[in-house]
Amino acid sequence: MVIVFQSKPSILASSAVAGPLEKKSVFYSYFDSVVEDERWNEKTNEQGHAKMILEASNIVMKKANIENLDVDYFLSGDLVNQMTPSNFAARELAISFIGLFSACATSVSSVIIASLLTELGASQYAIAGAASQHNAIERQFRYPNYYGGPKPATSQWTVTAAGYALVGKHNPEYPSIVAATVGKVVDYGDVNPMHMGGAMAPAAFDTITAHLKKRNQKFQDYDLIMTGDLGKIGLKILKAMLAQTGVKPEELQLLRDAGAEFYGEDEAFLAGASGAGCSASVYFSYIIQQLKTGRFKRVLLCATGALLSPLSFQQGESIPCTAHAIEMTME
Amino acid sequence: MEPKEYQDLEKQVTPPIPYLKNALKAFFVGGIICTIGHAVTYFYIIFFDFTEKTVGNPTVSTMIFFSMLLTGFGLYKKLGQYAAAGSAVPVTGFGNAVISAAIEHRTEGVVLGIGGNIFKLAGTVILFGVASAFFVALIKLILVSIGVVQW
Amino acid sequence: MIFIDFLIAFVIGGIICLIGQLIMDYGKLTPGHTLSILVVAGSIFSGLGLYQPLIDLAGAGATIPITSFGHSLTQGAIAEAEKHGWVGVLTGMFEVTSSGISAAIVFGFIAAFIFKPKGKVN
């Protein structure tokens, strides 16, 4: 489903906060803050996770020179059971809050909802974004952090990072959201939770092609199309799928993936980065800054999410995936 | 695109599992862990009052102690990523499964966290070990009773 | 002579791990599945009387891999079954093999108070 925003809501401020390991990220220099302790000096990983979300939200407000009372909505999601880190951060923020779960696509789905609220006139300022904390996600979805189970070359490293954006009324000096596509849930029967890129690529394909078709656009209309966390192998699969439908190799060069690039070529991270904070921290730091400087004029951000739970794959269910996209421009 | 068609494409693009390399790594690391265990065996026989029959218990306990140190400093995880079955199959891997779960769930408290989760991963090994020992011993007992084999 | 002794332990231990790796890779199984299969295999070999000779030959090469866990549980059950009949099958299991589990529990409990897991990259 494609939404065209008549009022073109703008991203008035954005922030990215990351953990210590994310110093290895190629996007490191764009992050606002990097914390030395991955638990943010709290007792548990989950508390640290909540503190990271809180810190990212506070930076957004500080940048826009506003306070909690000025913000109408806080839209956030993460991957921990029942999204307690977002809930607990919202408790501290005391802003009207809707928790959203689109797995790693929450970075974009939250911005879509914020844009709709803004267009409706219901929101002056809304903070939207997503986060993930490696240890908390790893222990929940896979194994204890110090368990010596091997990971295959297809598996990805959940990042410790948060990315948040302040969505407000249109302002020509800031990047604006002109259209969005809410993705369907796509499932091609993949069952391997250590190969998320392979499970998610069809969802990205579905959303990107639907968006371009409905908007009557081509790849060349964009300076960049960036998926969320397909990883190195998932990106290759997506490119192969697009090539089959007649997209030319030079057009495919416009397609990049935040997860595939996040940790550079470091092989220790296997197929690249993943997690809700992966796309969020890259979109709301690097991409926004590139739009602001005018290097990009029009981008399509398509975040992908694998909608599984630790129980669902043990019960033999396949992995349903989704992808949400926003089209952003800079005048 | 049909699911079948997609899975073929996915298979094409995804790098294959390096079967031989994995097997060799497992062989060497597993072999080295067993060699260390063998050295520990000799240590207990030479310096303490253990015989070949009784040396198994202290050897296993010592190896699990080594496993605790490696697990606690995050090194067993690195070893596991390199060696896979080579570090999972020796009893140190069993120790790693128990100890890593205990460390991980400390934040949920001593009773519900450590107590409730310590056998989260290793429980399956105990289950299958006990269940199969039960059936194997039962079969042997039946066979002895009807006079097919002797103890 | 002692060198050959160590070499046999290395090779036999290595081969058992190699078999585990092949089960894991070809069967596309988790470590949990793989170890369960090996424990059951160890128990069956023990019942057939084949595991003890392997220990006599390879020492720690056969006692360190998890297969020996299945072996000692089975030997415990069989030994008690011989003495006490039907009841012994249940009561004898942990006679021989308690050290591995108790060591893991004790060290796990201690470690939980000392160490904190971190997201270390390989």
- Measured between beta carbons, the chain B residues lying within 8 angstroms of C3 are none
Q: Cβ neighbours of residue B82 under 8 Å, at least 6 residues apart?
A: A150, B25, B29, C122
Instruction: Please state the rounded mean pLDDT for residues C91-106.
Output: 84
Is C120 a member of any domain? no
Note which residues in 199-258 of chain A have CB less than 8 A from chain B.
Answer: 201-202, 233, 236-237, 240-241, 244
Residue C119 has pLDDT above 70, yes or no: no
Q: Total structural domains in chain B? A: 2
Distances (CA, A) of A142 to A145, A150, A155: 9, 11, 11
Residue C121 has pLDDT above 70, yes or no: no
**What is the ipTM score, two decimals?**
0.93
What's the confidence (pLDDT) of residue A172? Answer: 95
- In 3D space, the residue among A152, A79, A103 whose CA is nearest the CA of residue A306 turns out to be A103
Q: Where, residue-wise, is CATH 3.40.47.40 in chain A?
A: 2-168, 176-329
Token reading at B84? 């896979």
Find out whether A156 and A273 touch, Cβ atoms under 8 Å.
Answer: yes
Token reading at B127? 């289950």
Find out whether A330 and A291 touch, Cβ atoms under 8 Å.
Answer: yes
Whether B9 and B64 share a structural domain: yes
CA distance B13 to C10: 37
Subunit partners of chain A (3 or more CB pairs within 8 A): B, C
- Kindly indicate the confidence band of residue C65, based on its pLDDT and cuts at 50, 70 and 90: very high
The answer to whether the CB atoms of C10 and B121 lie below 8 A apart is no
CA distance B52 to C56: 9
- Kindly indicate the confidence band of residue C120, based on its pLDDT and cuts at 50, 70 and 90: low
Chains B, C: CB contacts under 8 A, how many? 275
Q: What is the pLDDT along chain A (331 residues), one digit of tens a residue?
A: 899 999 999 999 999 999 999 999 999 999 999 999 989 999 999 999 999 999 999 999 999 999 999 999 999 999 999 999 999 999 999 999 999 999 999 999 999 999 999 999 999 999 999 999 999 999 999 999 999 989 999 999 999 999 999 999 999 999 999 999 999 999 999 999 999 999 999 999 999 999 999 999 999 999 999 999 999 999 999 999 999 999 999 999 999 999 999 999 998 999 999 999 999 999 999 999 999 999 999 999 999 999 999 999 899 999 999 999 999 999 8
B9 touches chain A (CB under 8 A): yes
Domain that holds residue B150: 122-151
- Measured between beta carbons, the chain C residues lying within 8 angstroms of A268 are 121-122
The answer to whether the CB atoms of B15 and A233 lie below 8 A apart is yes
Q: Indicate which of B17, B32, B35 best probes the interface with C, i.e. most C CBs within 10 Å of its own CB.
A: B35
Find out whether C118 and A145 touch, Cβ atoms under 8 Å.
Answer: yes
User: Could you tell me which chain B residue has the CA closest to the CA of A45?
Assistant: B107
What's the CA angle centered on B107, arms B106 and B110, to 5 degrees?
A: 45
Is C122 a member of any domain? no
Whether B116 and B126 share a structural domain: no
Instruction: Please state the rounded mean pLDDT for residues C16-45.
Output: 96
- Kindly indicate the confidence band of residue B2, based on its pLDDT and cuts at 50, 70 and 90: confident
**Three-class SS string for A156-180?**
CEECCEEEEEEEECCCCCCCEEEEE
Mean pLDDT score of chain B: 94
Find out whether C58 and C12 touch, Cβ atoms under 8 Å.
Answer: yes
Pairing of β A125-132 and β A161-168: antiparallel
Whether B138 and B106 share a structural domain: no
- Report the CATH superfamily, name and number, of domain A2-168: Stage V sporulation protein AD (3.40.47.40)
Whether B112 and B142 share a structural domain: no
- Kindly indicate the confidence band of residue C84, based on its pLDDT and cuts at 50, 70 and 90: confident
- In 3D space, the residue among B54, B28, B27, B32 whose CA is nearest the CA of residue B41 turns out to be B54
- Report the CATH superfamily, name and number, of domain A176-329: Stage V sporulation protein AD (3.40.47.40)
User: Which secondary-structure segment (H or E) carries B144?
Assistant: helix B123-145
- Measured between beta carbons, the chain C residues lying within 8 angstroms of B35 are 6, 9-10, 13, 60-61
Q: Total structural domains in chain C? A: 1
Q: For residue A1, count other CB atoms closer than 10 A to its CB.
A: 9
Domain that holds residue C55: 2-114
Note which residues in 58-97 of chain B have CB less than 8 A from chain A.
Answer: 71-72, 74, 76-77, 79-84, 87-88, 93, 96-97
Mean pLDDT score of chain C: 91
In chain A, where does DSSP find H-type helix? 45-64, 84-93, 106-119, 134-141, 196-214, 231-244, 249-252, 258-262, 276-282, 288-292, 310-314
